[in-house]
């Protein structure tokens, strides 16, 4: 395959990683800059994997020579003052820069250091956005959506730009720029551009054409993309939005299983996977439909399993591949999906490569890891048992691509560990590689804090880290309850497009249990938030039982019935009212509390669609609150089935949901 992938948008001074796809470690690859703005002096090195840094605004053509052919790649560079900034802006880790991270210590450079790109032409609509004057950065990052349809003998791609929520600009003030994908053979001369639209004659399309675009204002948006494809051998043509998550995923309810603790009480099962399989009936009854297993590969003995020693073998202490596949099949028989925890940034120091390379400059594996001047491997957070891979090594890329292929065949998606620490060019290659085989395969990123650019041809669903931290702060009493609405609205402020999907969570294997830190009352309200705010709810194994230890064996015999009942009610609620999930709109509503309840403990909001509208009340406090809302509602609480009518409004103990009257 070799071709370095889709075209990219960048800012002057940002690094664009160039890498051949599906690489042959024995082959020779060479990069050159074959087209650039007249004032540019930018060059590229002579390695197989390189970084290109544009030095002048404009369009660049980078050429990759492989043993078989030449490929071209377009990079559109905007002025440096258009660089997206603020929360949600940033890029993935770069091999050779161990520990290079943002303020949180979790990676993500300030600015939008983008991944690799492609060619076949820059075309602009409704203004090029290439103006050199200083923009008003306080306008924030815009967003864009591309849609395509067939009109007669043309494919028409239309862009819908949206200003930043706090911007003084109107949508009409935003420019739009399109890039055609080099790999598809359609050139700038084949298309026409109108007001925010691009028209492609169907006769110009061989097998497919992909169109990428950004909105441009004070800065440029996360790019969106559509594909127009020939269907079979006939003249039929179809269109696909390339960055939408699988439909099944947006309606999912996730459940994380810590594999070495979840069924540790089963003394009769021959393997851990058999013990886990015996718990599937429980999970089916609970109402979850997507399971995320913590790592199941061969490891160094640390029980969490994230320090991997063999990327192709199931861990001996869990069973073998046949046992793992039997578990997946049993989950599928119950209508459940299974997410495989994919760990690509590092290996364990017990990995055979590292054992040979450590303190051995002559090792053939030496260039497969990052190294510090001290002679120690690159790592993050002073973790002593792992070593970061160097993604400039074609051997590393080949090995990890092959591993991903192996496990994608027996999973429905990947939860991608430390996604921020792997280069964007690799994630983009992996996504296209997997989606070409199964368009419904799910990619979920763990990125803290989240990065909006990761929705550009990399991931379908993102950890909503902002909501997670906000719910913790609300539960501790450090923030008012209505800050959860700010957290949800923060997605758009961070630059995420409206079609991005988010996983909502209160806890996982890395965090203390929410009820331990914040108490039962706040925990019940926070659980309500998971099932009534836009997103995909995730429970960590034992959360629904009132489990207090985050990695301890589950205390099944000490499950708290009132906690389980609460989650049963919430799962049933979301199943019965899909508007409370990803499909419904979120709105603010005027409300006030009565009596002695602390107003900061309570938040009210609406979830609505054309079919139905609801008011949701969450109370994080320790006493029931009476809340008056500026909506006429049925006083029957859809969570409990009981009337919550009070003289001055509605009574809510933790969570209440009420239908808006017609």
Closest CA to 308 of 278, 268, 353: 353
Tokens at residue 564, please? 């389980």
To which H or E segment does residue 485 belong? helix 483-493
DSSP string, 198-261: EEEEGGG-SSEEEEEEEEESSSBPPPEEEEEEE-TTSS-EEEEETTPPPHHHHT--EEEE-TTT
Closest CA to 437 of 397, 405, 398, 461: 405
Contact assessment for residue 12 and residue 57, using Cβ atoms and an 8 Å cutoff: yes
Can you say how many angstroms the Cα of residue 607 is from the centroid of all Cα atoms in its chain? Answer: 23
Closest CA to 636 of 618, 615, 619, 622: 615
Closest CA to 162 of 181, 139, 179: 139
Task: Tell the residue number behind the tokens 């395959």, with chain if given.
Answer: 1
Tokens at residue 247, please? 């439909």
Strands (E) across 468-580 are located at: 501-504, 536-540
Tokens at residue 496, please? 């995420």
**CA dihedral of 355, 359, 365, 371, whole degrees rounded to 10:** 110
β-bridge pairing 461-463 and 386-388: unpaired
Distance, CA of 60 to CA of 37 (rounded, Å) = 7
Tokens at residue 224, please? 């969106």
Please, what is the Cα angle at 228 between 157 and 230, to 5 degrees? 150
Question: Quick one: residue 518, left, alpha or beta (phi over 0 = left, psi -120 to 50 = alpha)?
Answer: alpha
Judge residue 233's burial from the number of C-beta atoms within 10 Å of its C-beta, 0-12 exposed, 13-18 middle, 19 or more buried: exposed
Catalytically active residues, by annotation: 417, 446
Task: Tell the residue number behind the tokens 């009936």, with chain if given.
Answer: 281
Distance, CA of 254 to CA of 269 (rounded, Å) = 25
Distance, CA of 573 to CA of 639 (rounded, Å) = 6
Strands (E) across 334-440 are located at: 337-342, 346-348, 386-388, 413-416
How many other CB atoms are found less than 10 A from the CB of residue 124?
18
To which H or E segment does residue 434 belong? helix 424-437
DSSP state of 658: E
Closest CA to 74 of 124, 17, 12, 121: 121
Contacts of 612 (CB under 8 A, 6+ apart): 577, 579, 659, 660
Contact assessment for residue 419 and residue 447, using Cβ atoms and an 8 Å cutoff: yes
Closest CA to 403 of 393, 392, 414: 414
Closest CA to 303 of 221, 385, 237: 385
How many other CB atoms are found less than 10 A from the CB of residue 197?
18
Distance, CA of 25 to CA of 537 (rounded, Å) = 41
Distance, CA of 551 to CA of 202 (rounded, Å) = 56
Closest CA to 606 of 620, 590, 627, 619: 590
């Amino acid at each position: 395959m070799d071709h370095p992938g889709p075209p990219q948008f960048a800012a002057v001074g940002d690094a664009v990683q160039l890498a051949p796809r599906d690489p042959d470690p024995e082959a020779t690859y060479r990069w050159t800059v074959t087209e650039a703005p007249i004032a540019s002096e930018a060059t590229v090195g002579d390695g197989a994997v390189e970084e290109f840094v544009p030095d002048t605004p404009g369009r660049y053509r980078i050429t990759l020579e492989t043993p078989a052919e030449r490929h071209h790649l377009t990079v559109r560079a905007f002025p440096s003052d258009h660089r997206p900034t603020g929360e949600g802006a940033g890029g993935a880790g770069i091999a050779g820069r161990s520990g290079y991270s943002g303020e949180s210590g979790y990676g993500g450079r300030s600015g939008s250091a983008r991944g690799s790109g492609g060619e076949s032409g820059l075309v602009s609509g409704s203004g090029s956005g290439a103006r050199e004057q200083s923009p008003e950065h306080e306008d924030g990052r815009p967003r864009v959506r591309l849609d395509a349809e067939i009109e007669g003998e043309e494919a028409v791609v239309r862009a819908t730009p949206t200003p930043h929520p706090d911007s003084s600009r109107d949508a009409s003030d935003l420019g739009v720029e399109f890039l055609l994908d080099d790999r598809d053979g359609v050139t700038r001369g084949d298309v026409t551009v109108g007001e925010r639209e691009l028209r492609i004659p169907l006769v110009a399309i061989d097998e497919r054409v992909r169109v990428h675009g950004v909105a441009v204002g004070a800065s440029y948006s996360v790019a969106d993309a559509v594909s127009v494809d020939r269907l079979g051998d006939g003249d039929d043509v179809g269109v696909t939005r390339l960055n939408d998550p699988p439909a099944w995923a947006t309606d999912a309810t996730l459940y994380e299983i810590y594999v070495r603790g979840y069924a540790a009480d089963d003394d009769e099962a021959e393997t851990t996977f058999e013990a886990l399989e015996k718990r599937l009936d429980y999970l089916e009854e609970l109402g979850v439909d997507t399971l995320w297993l913590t790592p199941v590969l061969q490891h160094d003995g640390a029980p969490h399993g994230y320090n991997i020693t063999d990327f192709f073998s199931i861990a001996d202490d869990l069973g073998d591949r046949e046992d793992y596949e039997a578990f997946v099949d049993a989950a599928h028989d119950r209508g459940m999906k299974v997410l495989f925890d994919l760990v690509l940034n590092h290996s364990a120091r017990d990995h055979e490569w590292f054992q040979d390379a450590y303190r051995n400059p002559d090792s053939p594996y030496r260039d497969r890891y990052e190294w510090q001047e001290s002679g120690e491997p690159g790592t993050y957070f002073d973790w002593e048992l792992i070593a970061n891979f160097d993604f400039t090594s074609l051997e590393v890329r080949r090995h990890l691509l092959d591993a991903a292929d192996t496990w994608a065949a027996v999973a429905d998606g990947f939860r991608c560990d430390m996604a921020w620490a792997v280069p964007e060019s690799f994630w983009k290659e992996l996504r296209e590689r997997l989606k070409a085989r199964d368009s419904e395969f799910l990619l979920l990123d763990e990125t803290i804090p989240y990065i909006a650019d990761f929705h550009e041809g990399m991931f379908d669903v993102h950890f909503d880290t902002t909501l997670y931290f906000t719910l913790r702060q609300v539960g501790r009493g450090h923030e008012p309850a209505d800050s959860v609405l700010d957290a949800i609205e923060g997605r758009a402020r961070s630059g995420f497009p409206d079609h991005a999907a988010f996983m909502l969570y209160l806890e996982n294997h890395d965090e203390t249990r929410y009820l331990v830190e914040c108490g039962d009352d706040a925990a019940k309200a926070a659980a309500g938030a998971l099932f009534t705010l836009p997103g995909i709810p995730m429970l960590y194994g034992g959360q629904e039982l009132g489990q207090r230890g985050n990695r301890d064996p589950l205390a099944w015999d000490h499950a708290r019935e009132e906690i389980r009942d609460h989650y049963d009610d919430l799962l049933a609620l979301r199943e019965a009212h899909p508007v409370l999930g990803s499909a419904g709109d979120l709105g603010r509503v005027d409300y006030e509390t009565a009596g002695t309840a602390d107003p900061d403990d309570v938040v009210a909001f609406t979830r609505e669609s054309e079919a139905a509208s609801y008011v949701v009340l969450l109370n994080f406090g320790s006493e029931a609150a009476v809340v008056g809302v500026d909506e006429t509602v049925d006083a029957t609480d859809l969570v409990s089935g009981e009337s919550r009518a009070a003289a001055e409004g509605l009574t809510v103990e933790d969570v209440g949901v009420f239908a808006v009257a017609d």
